[in-house]
Amino acid sequence: MNIFVCISQVPDTTTKITVAPDGKTMAGTGVKFILNPYDEFAIEEGLQLRTKHGGTVTAVTVGGDSSKEILRTALAMGVDKAILIKDNEKSDSFFVAQNLAETVKGSDILIFGRQSIDFDSYSMSSMVAEILDLPSVSMASKLTINGTNVVVERDVESGKETVATSLPCVISAQKGLNDPRYPKLPDIMKAKSKPIEERAPIACSSRVETLSMELPKTNRTGKILGDSDADIRELVRLLHEEAKVI
């Protein structure tokens, strides 16, 4: 089975965000970058599929030089091959999708995370699937493959959906799909010297333009009460008369 896993590098969620001088992007200095947490589930699923069905797992990312670090993590976890599609421009999601599609076409299964925790777009798996004319199922919490038949459990608002599809296909991983392994120290060391294939991106014009980035303003009342019985009655009064939510 030819398995591709798409992974992305994101700022650590505890990062304090400041706006860059261009007024449109995040200032990058002092920011710690990590492997997108959902992509750990994607990598793990790829590795487990390889164990069950044989084949190779390739990790691919679109990003700058610093993204090599997450590819090394994927190699340490056990993927066979790593590809960096070089992009220093911070391009839009369509650019990323187009470039991923170009690289992963011909694979049997493509695995994504459900969302990357920088922009939380939840879009990449469906975009790449559409470009390649493949079926896709997002937010998979269980995946079963039998021959070319694929059955996926998917979390939706009202419960759990069962979705039937077939290989080749695209999946995005929800938490609970598996338990990602921790890379072992010797594997981390070995991964440092493994090759990372670099590719130049194919050009495509962006479809969405960022006009500005701002830090959100909070305009909350911020009335702080104690815990006496009178305070509890006061809270109920405020919710009823002032906020009018009950």
Partner 1 sequence: MNRILVYLETHGSGLKRSSLEAITAATATGASVIGLMTDGNETAALSGSEYGLSTCLIAKHPLLSEKSSMAIATTIAQAAKQENVDYVVMAANSTGKEIAPRIAVKLQAGYIPDVISLDASSDKIIAKRPVYAGKAVVSLQATTAQCVMTLRPNVFTAKKQAASLNVSEFIPLIGSNDGRVKITGLVKNEGKLDVSEADVVVSGGRGIKAPENYHLVEELANVLGGAVGSSRAVVDAGWRPHTEQVGQTGKTVSPNLYIACGISGAVQHLAGMSSSKVIVAINKDKEAPIFKIADYGMVGDALEILPKLTDVLRSTLHK
Ligand X SMILES: Cc1cc2nc3c(=O)[nH]c(=O)nc-3n(C[C@H](O)[C@H](O)[C@H](O)COP(=O)(O)OP(=O)(O)OC[C@H]3O[C@@H](n4cnc5c(N)ncnc54)[C@H](O)[C@@H]3O)c2cc1C
- Residue with smaller CB distance to ligand X, 39 or 153: 39
Q: What is the DSSP letter of 46?
A: H
Cα 19 to Cα 23, 63, 128, 156, 192: the distances in Å are 6, 20, 30, 34, 33
Answer with the entry of ligand X, partner 1, ligand AMP, none that 189 interacts with (C-beta below 5 to 8 A by kind). Answer: none
- Residue with smaller CB distance to ligand AMP, 115 or 136: 115
Structure tokens at 77: 């976890």
Instruction: Confirm if 43 and 77 have CB atoms less than 8 A apart.
Output: yes
Binders of ligand X in range 15-54 (CB under 6 A): 37
Binders of ligand AMP in range 85-144 (CB under 6 A): 93, 96, 100, 112-113, 115-116, 119-124
Q: In terms of Cα–Cα distance, which of 16, 98, 111, 8 is closest to 55?
A: 111
88 binds ligand X (CB under 6 A): no
Q: Dihedral through CA 88, CA 90, CA 94, CA 98, nearest 10? A: 10
Give the count of residues interacting with ligand AMP (CB under 6 A): 23
Minimum distance from residue 64 beta carbon to partner 1 (Å): 18
Rounded distance between C-alpha atoms, residue 46 and residue 109, angstroms: 9
Minimum distance from residue 86 beta carbon to ligand AMP (Å): 11
Answer with the entry of ligand AMP, ligand X, partner 1, none that 112 interacts with (C-beta below 5 to 8 A by kind). Answer: ligand AMP
- Residue with smaller CB distance to ligand AMP, 208 or 245: 208
> Could you list the residues that contact ligand X (CB under 6 A)?
13, 37
